[in-house]
């Protein structure tokens, strides 16, 4: 397997040359070169993605190992020589580490190839936009050979290095983002009776929506509804025609997700109608709940080696790996990569985000062992 020094060098190279979602051209080139050097057949897929294949001597099932590739529009504020060389672009979520870890796992699997079946190495672009997994699936990444199960790993800075989580059931939330337009009738601010002011209507919709999670969702379930943007009007003396709002709903169960998305629309519709306004609602980003398969999680827990397995509350963020998990049994493993001292934790997506690089070989070994054991049946 690639050594700690080699994995650190690979990670730092990606860290210095981050690329935003959909623009991962250099990362793609570097990955293809590495896979070629390791003697692994590989090709570009879905624009800037990469897929490699390690075949065993005999036929058998196929396990997919997935890393994401994209960075974030954040300017790196770390004072280290490997900081991002690109202003306004930074690996602030650890996807640089994911690429290095998957190359490490690939090198371990080349050293000890599976006797049967195959391992598909999937480097997926554009995770942060929730677009990459969809594009990879549409480009046929789950076919030829047909993928039976998938495992991904996310480094996690709020958890110290040396610890990990492999949790059955939901691990990350569904993501639904909405745009809502409340339409009234514009008029002079001093003559409201001649129009229909959409601003109090929007205020009523926002206030009423606060009761959806608190009154419609059972207290033992997890869900969140946030309005994150509101815009209306241009002048102090004009009642505007419309109010535009944006927001998001997250849930840990598809039934809760369905109920909340339906109720938000119905409630807003009724409120607007009761005040003689109208309401249009449209949904954009949509990801299902990420559900970990119990059998795969058991396998991963058995292969955790020296990692100390901990528990963790499921996260309310989303991950587009959920689109793979919706189609085949899958597991998202969490690898602690943060400092021991909780005061020193820097969260993901922060301009000074970094990881403890000693976790790179741990992650690589964990993924490779999971694939080996799965293929041994
Ligand atoms: Zn992220
Ligand atoms: Zn991430």
Q: How far apart are the CA of 166 and the centre of ligand 2, in A?
A: 17
| Cβ contact 19:89 at 8 Å | yes
Compute, in angstroms, the gap from residue 96 CA to the centroid of ligand 2.
10
Distance CA 365, CA 236 (A): 63
Residues 167 and 300 in one domain: yes
Residue 65 and residue 158 in one domain: yes
| 164 and 307 assigned to the same domain | yes
For residues 146 and 34, membership in a common domain is answered with yes
User: What is d(CA 332, CA 310) in angstroms, rounded to the nearest whole number?
Assistant: 14
User: Ligand 1: distance of its center to the CA of 154 in Å?
Assistant: 9
The CA dihedral of 238, 283, 46, 138, to the nearest 10 degrees, is -150
3-state percent helix, strand, coil for the chain, nearest multiple of 5: 35, 30, 35
Residue corresponding to tokens 């909340």 = 260
Please list the residues that pair with 335 across neighbouring strands.
155, 164
CA distance 244 to 235: 16
Q: Quote the ligand 2 centre to 101 CA distance (angstroms).
A: 14
**Are 32 and 130 contained in the same domain?**
yes
Structural domain count of the chain: 2
pLDDT in tens, the chain (377 residues): 999 999 999 999 999 999 999 999 999 999 999 999 999 999 999 999 999 999 999 999 999 999 999 999 999 999 999 999 999 999 999 999 999 999 999 999 999 999 999 999 999 999 998 899 999 999 999 999 999 999 999 999 999 999 999 999 999 999 999 999 999 999 999 999 999 999 999 999 999 999 999 999 999 999 999 999 999 999 999 999 999 999 999 999 999 999 999 999 999 999 999 999 999 999 997 899 999 999 999 999 999 999 999 999 999 999 999 999 999 999 999 999 999 999 999 999 999 999 999 999 999 999 999 999 999 98
Cα separation, 37 vs 107, whole angstroms: 10
Cβ burial of 81 (10 Å; 0-12, 13-18, 19+) is exposed
> Which residue has 């919706």 as its token pair?
326
Give residue 319 CA to ligand 1 midpoint distance, Å: 8
Q: Separation of 349 CA from ligand 1 center, angstroms?
A: 6
Supply the range of the domain harboring residue 281.
174-286
- Rounded to the nearest angstrom, the distance between the alpha carbon of 353 and the centre of ligand 2 is 12
In angstroms, the CA 39 to CA 30 distance is: 14
Question: At 246, which CATH number?
Answer: 3.30.70.360
User: Order of strands, edge to edge, in the sheet holding 223-232?
Assistant: 223-232, 242-251, 174-183, 278-287
Same domain, 239 and 279: yes
Q: For residue 125, what is the domain's CATH number?
A: 3.40.630.10
The pTM (predicted TM-score) of the whole model is 0.93
In this structure, the answer to whether residues 140 and 247 fall within a common structural domain is no
Please check whether residues 59 and 160 belong to one and the same domain. Answer: yes
Q: How far is the CA of 80 from the centre of ligand 1 (A)?
A: 21
- Tell me which H or E stretch contains 111: helix 95-111
Same structural domain for residues 64 and 151?
A: yes
Say how many Å lie between the CA of residue 93 and the centre of ligand 1. 5
């Amino acid at each position: 397997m690639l050594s700690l020094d080699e994995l650190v060098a690979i990670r730092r190279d990606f860290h210095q040359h981050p690329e935003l979602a959909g623009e991962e051209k250099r990362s793609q080139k570097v990955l293809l070169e590495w896979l070629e050097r390791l003697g692994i057949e590989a090709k570009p897929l879905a624009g800037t993605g990469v897929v490699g294949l390690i075949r065993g001597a005999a036929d058998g099932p196929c396990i997919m190992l997935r890393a994401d590739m994209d960075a974030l529009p954040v300017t790196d504020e770390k004072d280290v020589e490997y900081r991002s060389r690109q202003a306004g672009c930074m690996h602030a979520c650890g996807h640089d580490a994911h690429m290095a870890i998957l190359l490490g796992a690939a090198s371990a699997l080349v050293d000890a190839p599976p006797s049967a079946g195959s391992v598909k190495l999937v480097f997926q672009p554009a995770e942060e936009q929730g677009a990459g997994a969809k594009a990879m699936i549409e480009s046929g990444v789950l076919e030829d050979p047909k993928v039976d199960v998938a495992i991904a790993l996310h480094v996690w800075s709020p958890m110290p290095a040396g610890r990990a989580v492999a949790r059955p059931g939901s691990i990350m939330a569904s993501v639904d983002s909405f745009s809502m337009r409340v339409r009234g009738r514009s008029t002079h601010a001093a003559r409201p009776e001649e129009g229909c002011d959409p601003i109090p209507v929007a205020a009523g919709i926002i206030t009423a929506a606060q009761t959806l999670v608190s009154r419609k969702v059972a207290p033992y379930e997890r869900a969140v509804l946030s309005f994150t943007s509101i815009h209306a009007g241009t002048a102090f003396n004009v009642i505007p025609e419309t109010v535009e709002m944006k927001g998001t709903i997250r849930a840990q169960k598809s039934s809760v997700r369905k109920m909340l998305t339906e109720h938000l629309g119905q409630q807003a519709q009724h409120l607007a109608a009761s005040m003689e306004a109208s309401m249009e609602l449209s949904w954009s980003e949509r990801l299902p709940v990420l559900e970990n398969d119990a059998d795969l999680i058991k396998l991963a827990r058995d292969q955790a080696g020296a990692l100390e397995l901990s528990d963790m509350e499921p996260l309310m963020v989303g991950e587009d790996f959920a689109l793979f998990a919706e189609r085949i049994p899958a597991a998202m493993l969490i690898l602690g990569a943060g400092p021991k001292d909780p005061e020193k934790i820097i969260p993901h997506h922060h301009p000074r985000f970094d990881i403890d690089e000693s976790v790179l070989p741990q992650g690589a070994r964990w993924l490779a062992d999971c694939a080996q054991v799965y293929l041994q049946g």
